[in-house]
Structure 1
Amino acid sequence: MVDFELEGEYVELNQLLKLAGLCDSGGAGKALVAAGEVRVDGTVELRKTCKIRAGQRVRCHGVEIRVVPAG
């Protein structure tokens, strides 16, 4: 489980994967999403730049990212 502190209203899914250290770049994050390897709140998400907000959970390659508000 990884806690990601969200600065602002949302983060795009591909950028979240990069910022959480699950891939090296936003492009690699897009590839993971396109391959169907990413779940948001338990559902496979295929929108690469889906807006992820505080309170959501993202899972990829056995790692769960819990998005929490900053502060």
Structure 2
Amino acid sequence: MTNSAPIDDVSIGGDGIRLGQFLKFAGVLESGGDVKEAIIDGYVTVNGEVDRRRGRQLQVGDIVTFEGRSVRVCP
């Protein structure tokens, strides 16, 4: 499957960040409540796979997608 949408790089200034934190930090979702719902309902993918854990530790290079917008974790 080819994703024609561009991937935005978001620098986290470190080695890792939790999925819920990253979605807010990257501006993908505005509030913690929105983040929680989107993740629990299965609307967020990490590296192409649905992940329902807000606390999932992301690593540099991971790609998070929500509603067609993809963002890559960068140092």
Please say whether Structure 1 and Structure 2 have the same fold, judged by a TM-score greater than 0.5: yes
Q: Pairwise mapping of residues 1-71 of structure 1 onto structure 2 (< 5 A)?
A: 1-69=7-75
Amino acid at match of 1:11: I
- Superposed CA RMSD in Å reads 1.1
Q: Which amino acid aligns with 1:45?
A: D
Contact residue 40 and residue 58 of structure 1 kept, 8 A: yes
Unmatched runs of 5 consecutive residues or more in structure 1:
none
Partner SS, residue 52 of structure 1: strand
Alpha-carbon distance in 1 for matches of 2:57, 2:32: 14
Identity among equivalent positions (%) equals 35
Structure 2 gaps of 5+ residues are 1-6
Number of equivalences: 69
| CA–CA distance in structure 1, aligned partners of residues 63 and 30 of structure 2 | 20
Point out the more displaced range, 3-12 or 29-38.
3-12
Larger Rg: 2
Structure 1 moving runs of 4+ over 4 Å = none
